[in-house]
Structure 1
Amino acid sequence: MSWTLTATAARLGGLLRRDDAGEEPAPADGTLFSRAFARAVERATPADAKALEVARGQLGDRPEVIERAVASGAPISAVAALAAAWEGMGREARGIVAHPAGTGTGPVRWGSVLAAQVDQTTCGAATMGMMRMIGDPFVALWVGTGRSLGDHTPPEAIHAEAEGFATLTVEERWQALQRVIHAQTTTSALGPVAWPRSLGTPPWKVDDRTRFAGLRFAGRLVDDSTSEALAPLLAHARRALADGIPVPLFSAGDSSLGLDTVIPRHVVLLVRDAGNGFDVYEPGAGAVLPLADADLHPGAGRLPALGHWSRAAWLIMPVRARRG
């Protein structure tokens, strides 16, 4: 049977696996974002709590946008400014902020801009960029409009400006976001030595550099040799998605395609649970594509949702915060 390095390592006892990578978050009510909002209201002064409730109410049927804004760690002044600016943003800008990856399958377009990776080395950066836009509406707002609100500018926008990247258009800001993240994930990836940027994003730097609502992440090697081995990982991914947390997935080839393909080669993002599969943001295509559970096994062939690679290799999962 054809094999991948990650599946073999997983079967041999979890080589390269973080000690806490298998901890599945405990079940909880609501989503990560609604719980973050509730905690913020509980801890706020009466005046600030009222401001947060008013801000959420201003968005009508999109209260989750304000909940995401609060979970991102933005100050209350920025959250209030986002609520005040919402109706005046225009339909297209509101769509980018509310649903950066869209609401269904097919190409992800922000106006005329396809949300694709800049080049062959930035699949990980594009995936992480999309994840940051989902987790932080101020990043999505900056990409979509170039605006900052309430004297709050997301760090990615600050870094893009500091590096002198062009940021006048949606396309330029999306590309700048990728280049900022690509630089962050390749610097010091091998201790004091930088990871060669031509090799893309190393998996262990994705969990180190993933910025999403203050969570911690850890990598899990994927053993897809049997449905029984794969089932716990898929259940963990579904739990994360139900909580509002997208899941980065590294894909690979296997020994049948050549030894140079048995390591992680591409990165995609699970954005929705489709019941018998997932909706997957694939940055090479700039599209959300379907991925069936039934296709996640050796011999399935090249899969569009995996960037035309054939195997799932490495998942980036949220883990519980340490106590004490």
Structure 2
Amino acid sequence: MRVRHDAQRLTDLLEAVGLFCGPVPQLSVGAPPAPRVPYPVESALRDADPAVRARVLDPLGRDREPPRPGRPDPLLLPDLTGAARPGAGPTPLAPEARQVDETTCGAAVLVMLRLAGDPAAALALARDPRGAGPAFAALQRATQLRTRRVWPRRLGTPPWGAARAARYGPWRYTHRVVGSREPSAGPRAVLRAAVDAASAGIPVPLYTGGDLGHGATTAVPRHVVLLTAVRQTVVGPTATLYEPSSGALHAVPVDALRGAGGAPQEQTSRRRALGGWPHVVWAVLPSEERQEGPAWRA
């Protein structure tokens, strides 16, 4: 299938010359993995509000009901300090998990990925005396600095930097481009590998962008979201995505992740879930499990 010149992406060109592509990692994952909750974390949460406890132990909200397509749910940070933003009633509202500026979408995703696989790190954020919002912002800035090295700050976190820094418990990551002509199955099906990993309980950072039809600057990776889960719903297999500019969880049919077609309402929902962009152009995939870091159980 030929791709119109104005519909090409930078990742199509990279794929054509064999850069950042190749067979995807083959994972062997049985039951969805989950981190063990260390005793100090359990002890600290013994008298905590149930909602706050849930946000510490499940920072990505995967144990709750998934959002409905087109109706995103806010993703709130765990906060045990009482320093959250004031709200109606006696209990302050927890801050949303938003990126701190227009360049830290990748850093926000990497921080939430780490918190989801490390209850002790999530508890540390919740107990930070600055409050969860400022602490989350500081973690984003530190993560961005660590992942971009000589990369210009205005361009955010590059995929290779994200892959080097990405941690979900014992899992380490690599990266692959997602071309517009990618197969739906097989050893080079990057999006299929991302969906399979999320279905098995391992979140996957995804880079989004546009194509040359809207200018050269839109054909490169422009934003990062986190594929947190894939579940069966009444509309079929549905992906849940953490979108850091809105600080919310979005639901998208799995088939809609692949293309820009569909009804206008579906296109709008997909763009919102992808941070305003029509395509997934790069994926940071789990590549290997190492016996280090937080203790885990299968």
Both proteins in one fold, TM over 0.5: yes
Secondary structure of 2:18's aligned partner: coil
User: Retained in 1: the 8 A contact 2:170–2:289?
Assistant: no
User: Retained in 1: the 8 A contact 2:184–2:192?
Assistant: no
Q: Which has the higher helix share?
A: 1
* Cα distance, 1:127–1:174 mapped onto 2, change above 3 Å: same
Answer with 81-90 or 263-272: which moved more: 81-90
Secondary structure of 2:133's aligned partner: helix
Distance in 2 (alpha carbons) for counterparts of 1:249 and 1:210: 12
Q: Which has the higher contact order (CA 8 A, sep 6+)?
A: 2
Aligned: 1:225 with 2:225: no
Which residue among 101, 126, 144 is the counterpart of 2:60?
A: 101
The equivalent residue for 2:9 is: 4
Secondary structure of 1:266's aligned partner: strand
- Aligned ranges for residues 275-314 of structure 1 at < 5 Å? 275=232, 276-295=237-256, 296-298=258-260, 303-314=271-282
- Aligned ranges for residues 51-66 of structure 1 at < 5 Å? none
Indicate the RMSD between aligned Cα atoms, in angstroms.
2.4
* Cα distance, 1:31–1:298 mapped onto 2, change above 3 Å: closer
The equivalent residue for 2:19 is: 15
Aligned: 1:81 with 2:21: no
Q: Which has the higher strand share?
A: 2
What stretches of structure 1 of length at least 5 have no aligned partner? 34-66, 70-78, 147-166, 188-193
User: Retained in 2: the 8 A contact 1:182–1:201?
Assistant: yes
Following superposition, the deviation at residue 228 of structure 1 comes to 3.2
Secondary structure of 2:221's aligned partner: coil
Secondary structure of 1:208's aligned partner: helix
- Aligned ranges for residues 1-324 of structure 1 at < 5 Å? 1=4, 2-10=7-15, 12=16, 14-17=18-21, 22-26=24-28, 28-33=29-34, 67-69=35-37, 79-102=38-61, 103=64, 104-105=66-67, 106-110=73-77, 111-146=93-128, 168-187=130-149, 194-225=150-181, 228=184, 232-275=189-232, 276-295=237-256, 296-298=258-260, 303-320=271-288
User: Retained in 2: the 8 A contact 1:186–1:197?
Assistant: yes
Following superposition, the deviation at residue 232 of structure 1 comes to 3.0
Distance in 2 (alpha carbons) for counterparts of 1:68 and 1:259: 46
Secondary structure of 1:100's aligned partner: coil
Return the TM-score normalized by structure 2: 0.76
Identity across matched positions, percent: 32
The residue type equivalent to 1:200 in the other structure is: G
* Cα distance, 1:180–1:217 mapped onto 2, change above 3 Å: same
Distance in 2 (alpha carbons) for counterparts of 1:88 and 1:256: 55
Secondary structure of 1:250's aligned partner: strand
Distance in 1 (alpha carbons) for counterparts of 2:253 and 2:126: 31
The equivalent residue for 2:85 is: none
Following superposition, the deviation at residue 87 of structure 1 comes to 1.7
Answer with 233-242 or 170-179: which moved more: 233-242
